[in-house]
Chain A
């Protein structure tokens, strides 16, 4: 058979592509539920770590079952609009943070997720997500705020592709644990989102230390938190 004729080439490639596409489609469909479960588990883990649940000695506990912890501790999850009112009929856990980031930037209807988390000592903290652009790709995270609406209880951040060892350090416990106990107030007592200070916060309760060598990631994270806090401040302390 002449394997170099046009007809043969076209039929050969068509059959090959259809077969490969079919294999990939079957595998992708078969693995989809597991992959979705992994992504949801990752989100639950981030939320719980931001409330310092499932941590031992400031480090994420490798053996913790974050799905169980999530079900135990999260008492309420809802979404708010730009005025701080609850939006009915929205599953806060399924809200795509990226779409909200774009809505904040370009104007649009907001449905910002809010989680209420009951801690083991009976206190209920409010967990607030944020999402923005870092140096190379997306950065996101969760902040938990004490019932007084002024003190940060804990934080957790993650990133898509920040530089390992520099910007990537925002996902490390030494960095996000600094947020524990810092204040959402400036010296005069007015609301002020957390400052990530180059050269060190030096005891300023409104700030945490920036990462040396990662100025842009540090600044982006500060701006990201501030942009989301602009809306969340409406509901804090309630």
Chain B
């Protein structure tokens, strides 16, 4: 296993900015940093373990029903995470609401299983799944950082922008209401893609 397996999903083959997978949830769960962190962790666990499982089973899976088998395994991990969040972190579970369940439909997971786990040994599949999840999570966290900071003036719920700056307290500052709406996430995501492509010239289309 070479370095590419780790690095590619983070940068050159980033699921969001390069493969453009998983956009839906990255717009929905990036209002606050906490939600983005939990979502990043959940997706990483699901991609890593479903890739590992499918890779372990890869020689036994009947080819005609392989997508169904993949879905069953992915759905199992997603439901486990959803149940665990409801039991141990109820507030986060409330905040992420349906989006945890929707990890099942996240294209990154099925994409990596089809493209990698079905044809590779368990350990590289696990690493590939985990790093794709992290690549996804990294973008989520970048977007959520800016949205929470400029949309609510907080980070992880802690006030960052001084209260005295706000107009309500006699200052000059107001939170940008657009930041907490999904369209702004798309614009920020566009900016991330832009920055990414200007750094890595190979990614630019001719």
A residues with CB within 8 A of B = 3-4, 8-9, 12-13, 16-17, 20, 23-24, 27-28, 31, 34-35, 38-39, 41-42, 160-161, 163-165
Contacts and interface: CB of A to CB of B under 8 A. Distances in A.
The list of the 7 closest CB pairs from A to B, nearest first, reads: A38-B90, A34-B87, A31-B87, A9-B62, A165-B180, A20-B76, A35-B86
Interface SS of chain B: helix, strand, loop or mixed? helix
Contact of A23 (B60, B62, B76, B90): B76
Given A42-B90, A165-B180, A165-B181, A31 B62 contact: no
A35 B60 contact: no
Contacts of A38: 86-87, 90
A161 B88 CA distance: 22
Nearest to B90: A38
A16 B76 CA distance: 11
Interface stretch (B14-22, B66-74, B101-109, B195-203): B66-74
B80 A24 contact: yes
Contacts of A163: 181
Contact of A4 (B64, B72, B94, B180): B64
Contacts of A39: 90
A147 B167 CA distance: 38
B69 A16 contact: yes
B84 interface: yes
A4 B66 CA distance: 11
Most buried by B among A20, A39, A163: A20
B61 A20 contact: no
A159 to B, nearest CB: 11
Given A31-B86, A164-B181, A165-B181, A20 B62 contact: no
B86 A12 contact: no
Given A3-B62, A4-B64, A16 B72 contact: yes
A28 B68 CA distance: 23
B61 A27 contact: no
A105 B62 CA distance: 52
Contacts of B76: 20, 23-24
Interface residues of B, number: 28
A13 B69 contact: yes
B41 interface: no
Contacts of A13: 62, 65, 68-69
B84 A31 contact: yes
Contact of B83 (A28, A160, A165): A28
Contacts of A23: 76, 80
Interface string B160-189: 000000000000000001001100000000
Contacts of A17: 72
A35 B87 contact: yes
A15 to B, nearest CB: 10
Contact of B60 (A12, A42, A164, A165): A12
B37 interface: no
Interface string B31-74: 10000000000000000000000000001111111001100110
22 contacts: A3-B62, A3-B63, A8-B62, A9-B62, A9-B65, A13-B68, A16-B72, A17-B72, A20-B72, A20-B75, A27-B80, A27-B83, A28-B83, A31-B84, A31-B87, A34-B88, A35-B83, A35-B86, A38-B86, A39-B90, A161-B97, A165-B180
B79 interface: yes
A80 B75 CA distance: 43
A23 to B, nearest CB: 7
B60 A31 contact: no
